[in-house]
Amino acid sequence: MEGVRRPQDVILTLLCQGALIARGDYRWRKYQDFEHFQNEVHCDPIKSRHWQQLADSIQEGKRGSGWGSTGETTLQLSELGMTDCPSHEWEYGSCRFSYAVVTDKLAPWDDDYMEEWFSAWDIDVWPNDLEPTIWDDRPEPETAPPTPNTNKGGRPPAADWELAALEIAGRYYRGDFKPQTIADVGRELALWLGKQDLHPSDSVVRIHAKRIFDAFQAWEQG
């Protein structure tokens, strides 16, 4: 989106917080307590802990990178039979990511030793309050044809909260908007939505405003 230098950072923060949710195909493998675990699914929710692990791996890579370094680290997951695994890959434009984790300074025979690998692709993301609507596969009930006098106003369109969050984040990155409180974000959201003739309740606006404000606070502290 225009004005957002790295929209993937915004999206990742909101996914970690649960303000956005995602579904996709993924494979997961883990070795812990001398046992192997694995799973492979199609179009399932991706838990926020996986996004948080991706975020942690990215930050760890930034801290460990020096001059001229790309920050890329490969790991040896011997118990999973995987070698030279990148600690993380985040291909935002291709809707895929992966990470690998291994317990530092422990041997495979130690009680607390753990290896984990996760890879997801074909990812779709949207605000969490749209999840029931998007994945409600129940057929629509049959209804009689409307009479000529039927009110055709219908249900008002739902707000695009992901787009709204990116819009506010863009202003924040450009320095055009520096909120001091959740209410500041709420007013800005309401104004932006109002220009699209969208008028959600104050309580709904506040929920999204708090998530956006918390994300801004996290960026400032990071």
Q: Supply the DSSP symbol for 88.
A: E
Domain ranges of the chain: 7-63+71-131, 157-221
What are the percentages of helix, strand and coil residues in the chain, rounded to 5?
40, 25, 35
How far is residue 59's CA from residue 72's CA, in Å, rounded to a whole number?
11
Q: For strand 88-91 and strand 82-86, is the pairing parallel, antiparallel, or unpaired? A: unpaired
Contact predicate 87/104, CB 8 Å: no
222 vs 165, residue with greater confidence: 165
For the chain, the straight-line distance linking the first and the last C-alpha, in angstroms and rounded, comes to 22
Q: Which pLDDT score, from 0 to 100, does residue 203 have?
A: 82
CA atoms within 13 A on the CB side of 89: 17
- List the Cα angle 186/49/16 in 5-degree steps: 20
Q: Between residues 175 and 79, which one has the greater pLDDT? A: 79
Regarding pTM above 0.75, the answer is no
pLDDT of 108: 85
pLDDT at 34: 87
Query: Apex CA 75: angle with CA 72 and CA 79, to 5°?
Result: 165
Average pLDDT of span 70-80: 82
Helices 7-17 and 202-221 meet at what angle, rounded to 10?
110
Give the pLDDT of residue 129: 60
Average pLDDT, the chain: 80
Asked if the model's pLDDT at residue 3 lies above 70, the reply is no
Instruction: State the Cα torsion 202-203-206-210 to the nearest 10°.
Output: 180
Q: Flag whether pLDDT at 18 surpasses 50.
A: yes
19-28 tens-digit pLDDT? 888 888 999 9
The mean pLDDT of 136-162, rounded to a whole number, is: 53
Q: Is the pLDDT of residue 136 over 90?
A: no
pLDDT score for 135: 42
Residue predicted with more confidence, 173 or 167: 167
